[in-house]
C-alpha cells in the first residue's frame, strides 16, 4: 500500500485546495481498488476480506453490489472516508468533501429507488447436511448418511453435503456410489457430494463436486479450479516445500479443474457448484450466472478455523455473491457455519452454527433476470484504471515540461542559453 501513502501525501499534504481534494476523492479509492485487485490474484492468496465485503448485512449496499459488485462498495467506502477526513481537517475544501459525500448518498439512494431487483418466479427446496465435528472420513460419511435418511418424505429437490464429505473415488469404490444412490432413492432427490480423493482414471488428488442420482453418479462433475495456497498446494514446492514441516501445509498438491460446470437437475433446475475458497472470487459466481445457473451451491469445510471468526465470515460472502448475481447461494459446510441467502442477499432460514450436527431444509427463492453486474462486469475496476492512467499521463507531462524548461546554466549573470564551454570575452 506504499502507492496509497505516497498519493495521499501528494494530494493532501499541507493545505490542499479544492482541485487536489477533488482528485483525491477519485484517485485514492482507485489506488485502493488496484491494491485489492492485485491481492485478489489466486496465487497471492485471493480476494479474502475485501473492504466491500464488510457491508454484506446492509441492504442498500447489497443493492449497489448488484450494480458494480464488491468493487463498487470498496470504492465508495474509501471515498467516504477520504471525504470525512477532509471535512474535519481541511476547512478550505469542505465544499468539495460535502459534494463527494452527497454523491455517495445519491448513488445509494438512486440504486435503492431505480435499480431493478431480482424477480422471484418460484422456489426450490434444498437440504443442507452438516455432520459436525467428527474425526475421520469414515465416521463423517456415516453421520452424513444418517442425517440424509432423516430427510425422507420432506419433499426436497436437492441434498447438499459439504466439502471433502466423501474421501474415496467413486469409480474405484463403486460400493460408495451404490450407497449414495440408495440415499438418493430414499430421499427422492439428487445428492451433491464432494469427493476429495485420488482419482482412478487420472493421476493426482482432485476436489470434485459430484451429482448423485437414484441410479448412481449422473456423470456431472466439477473439479475445483482455484486452490488454497499452502492449504491445498505448495507454490514453488521445490523452494517452499519445507512449509510442510512447520505447519499443516499440503503434503501433496491437489490438481486443478479446467472449467466451470453448470449441472442439470430433474425438473429443469440448474445449479452452479463452487468449492470453499472459490466463493471469495466474484468472477466465478458471475460466470456461472452468465452460463445459466439458477442456484449457486458452495461446498465448504472450515474445521481448521472452528474456534475463530473465519466460518462466519466465509458464510457471509455468500450474501454478496447472491446480491451480485441475483442468484440464491447455498453455503454448505461440514462443521458450520452453513447458511442460505436469497437472490437479493437476504438470509433464508436459520444458520447452522459451528456447534450444529443436523440436516436442515430451506425453501429457497429463485432469482430471475440478469443483474447489471453480471451483464457489464467489474466496471469500477476499469474506471479506476482509467482514472489512474489519466493521472499518470498528466504527471508525466508535467515532469517532462519541467525538464524541458530547466535552464542549462543557472549561475548568476550568465544567459540561460549560453553554453558553458564558450570562451569568456577578453580571455584566450
How high is the pLDDT of residue 340? 97
Sheet with 339-341, strands from edge to edge, namely 263-264, 270-275, 295-300, 329-333, 339-341
Q: How many CB atoms lie within 10 A of CB 353?
A: 14
Same structural domain for residues 156 and 303? yes
Percent of the chain at pLDDT > 70 equals 92
Same structural domain for residues 18 and 149? no
* Residue 100, in any domain of the structure: yes
The answer, yes or no, to whether residue 197 has pLDDT greater than 60, is: yes
Same structural domain for residues 197 and 265? yes
How high is the pLDDT of residue 82? 93
Mean pLDDT, the chain, whole residue set = 88
* Residue 250, in any domain of the structure: no
Give the separation between CA 154 and CA 70, rounded to whole angstroms.
36
The answer, yes or no, to whether residue 195 has pLDDT greater than 80, is: yes
Q: Report the candidate in 86, 74, 62 with the shortest Cα–Cα distance to residue 34.
A: 74
Same structural domain for residues 131 and 207? yes
* Residue 237, in any domain of the structure: no
How high is the pLDDT of residue 342? 96
How high is the pLDDT of residue 245? 66
DSSP assigned state of 254? B
Beta carbons within 8 Å of 396's beta carbon, 6+ residues apart: none
pLDDT digits over 127-176, tens only? 999 999 988 899 999 999 999 999 999 999 999 999 999 999 998 899 99
Same structural domain for residues 55 and 76? yes
pLDDT digits over 272-328, tens only? 999 998 999 999 999 999 999 999 999 998 877 777 888 999 999 999 999 999 999
- Final residue of a structural domain among 323, 351, 370: 370
How high is the pLDDT of residue 415? 55
How high is the pLDDT of residue 396? 87
How high is the pLDDT of residue 117? 80
Same structural domain for residues 111 and 169? no
Which of the residue ranges 218-227, 241-250, 265-274, 349-358 would you say has the lowest mean pLDDT?
A: 241-250
Which of the residue ranges 21-30, 43-52, 342-351, 354-363 would you say has the lowest mean pLDDT?
A: 43-52
CATH number where 346 lies:
3.60.110.10
Same structural domain for residues 187 and 90? no
* Residue 21, in any domain of the structure: yes
The answer, yes or no, to whether residue 194 has pLDDT greater than 70, is: yes
The answer, yes or no, to whether residue 1 has pLDDT greater than 70, is: no
The answer, yes or no, to whether residue 363 has pLDDT greater than 70, is: yes
Percent of the chain at pLDDT > 90 equals 61
Per the structure, the complete domain to which residue 336 belongs is given by 123-225+260-370
Grid cell locating 117: 431487483
How high is the pLDDT of residue 408? 56
Same structural domain for residues 109 and 140? no
Same structural domain for residues 200 and 136? yes
Handedness of CA 388, 392, 395, 401 (dihedral sign): negative
Same structural domain for residues 93 and 143? no
Full-model pTM: 0.88
Distance linking the first and last C-alpha atoms of the chain: 59
Grid cell locating 215: 441410479
Per-residue CA distances from 127 to 50, 294, 329 (Å): 30, 16, 13
Mind spelling out the 3-state secondary structure of 92-158? Answer: HHHHHHHHHHHHHHHHHHHHHHHCCCCECCCEEEEEEEECCCCCCHHHHHHHHHHHHHCCCCCCCCE
The residues that bridge with 124 in the sheet, in sequence order, are: 364
- Final residue of a structural domain among 348, 370, 392: 370
The count of residues in the chain is: 428
How high is the pLDDT of residue 51? 94
Same structural domain for residues 329 and 204? yes
How high is the pLDDT of residue 393? 92
How high is the pLDDT of residue 317? 95
Q: Report the candidate in 254, 311, 286 with the shortest Cα–Cα distance to residue 68.
A: 286
Same structural domain for residues 221 and 136? yes
pLDDT digits over 229-249, tens only? 887 777 767 777 777 766 676
- Report how many domains make up the chain: 2
Amino acid at each position: 500500500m506504499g502507492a496509497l501513502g505516497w498519493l495521499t501525501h501528494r494530494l493532501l499534504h499541507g493545505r490542499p485546495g479544492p482541485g487536489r481534494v477533488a482528485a483525491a476523492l477519485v484517485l485514492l479509492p482507485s489506488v485502493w481498488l488496484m491494491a485489492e485487485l492485485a491481492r485478489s490474484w489466486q496465487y497471492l492468496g485471493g480476494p479474502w476480506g475485501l473492504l466491500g465485503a464488510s457491508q454484506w448485512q446492509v441492504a442498500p449496499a447489497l443493492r449497489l453490489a448488484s450494480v458494480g459488485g464488491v468493487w463498487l462498495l470498496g470504492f465508495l467506502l474509501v471515498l467516504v472516508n477520504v471525504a470525512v477526513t477532509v471535512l474535519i481537517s481541511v476547512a478550505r475544501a469542505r465544499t468539495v468533501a460535502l459534494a463527494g459525500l452527497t454523491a455517495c448518498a445519491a448513488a445509494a439512494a438512486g440504486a435503492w429507488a431505480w435499480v431493478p431487483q431480482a424477480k422471484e418466479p418460484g422456489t426450490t427446496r434444498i437440504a443442507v447436511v452438516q455432520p459436525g465435528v467428527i474425526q475421520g472420513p469414515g465416521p463423517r460419511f456415516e453421520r452424513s448418511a444418517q442425517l440424509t435418511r432423516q430427510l425422507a418424505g420432506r419433499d426436497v429437490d436437492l441434498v447438499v453435503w459439504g466439502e471433502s464429505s466423501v474421501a474415496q473415488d467413486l469409480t474405484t469404490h463403486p460400493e460408495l456410489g451404490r450407497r449414495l444412490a440408495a440415499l438418493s432413492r430414499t430421499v427422492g432427490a439428487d445428492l451433491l457430494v464432494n469427493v476429495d480423493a485420488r482419482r482412478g482414471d487420472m493421476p493426482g488428488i482432485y476436489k470434485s463436486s459430484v451429482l448423485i442420482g437414484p441410479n448412481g453418479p449422473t456423470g456431472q462433475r466439477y473439479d475445483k479450479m482455484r486452490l488454497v495456497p499452502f492449504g491445498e498446494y505448495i507454490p514453488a514446492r521445490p523452494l517452499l516445500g519445507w512449509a510442510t514441516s512447520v505447519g499443516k501445509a499440503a503434503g501433496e498438491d491437489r490438481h486443478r479443474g479446467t472449467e466451470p460446470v453448470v449441472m442439470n437437475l430433474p425438473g429443469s433446475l440448474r445449479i452452479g457448484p463452487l468449492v470453499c475458497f472459490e466463493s471469495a472470487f466474484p468472477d466465478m459466481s458471475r460466470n456461472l450466472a452468465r452460463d445459466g445457473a439458477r442456484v449457486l451451491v458452495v461446498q465448504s469445510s472450515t474445521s481448521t478455523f472452528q474456534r475463530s471468526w473465519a466460518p462466519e465470515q466465509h458464510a457471509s460472502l455468500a450474501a454478496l455473491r447472491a446480491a451480485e448475481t441475483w442468484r440464491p447461494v447455498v453455503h454448505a459446510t461440514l462443521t458450520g457455519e452453513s447458511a442460505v441467502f436469497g437472490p437479493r442477499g437476504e438470509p433464508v432460514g436459520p444458520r447452522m452454527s459451528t456447534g450444529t450436527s443436523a440436516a436442515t431444509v430451506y425453501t429457497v427463492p429463485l432469482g430471475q433476470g440478469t443483474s447489471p453486474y453480471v451483464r457489464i462486469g467489474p466496471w469500477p475496476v476499469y474506471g479506476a484504471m482509467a482514472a489512474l492512467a489519466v493521472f499518470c499521463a498528466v504527471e508525466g507531462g508535467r515532469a517532462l515540461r519541467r525538464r524541458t524548461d530547466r535552464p542549462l546554466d543557472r549561475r548568476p549573470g550568465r544567459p540561460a542559453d549560453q553554453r558553458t564551454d564558450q570562451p569568456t570575452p577578453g580571455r584566450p
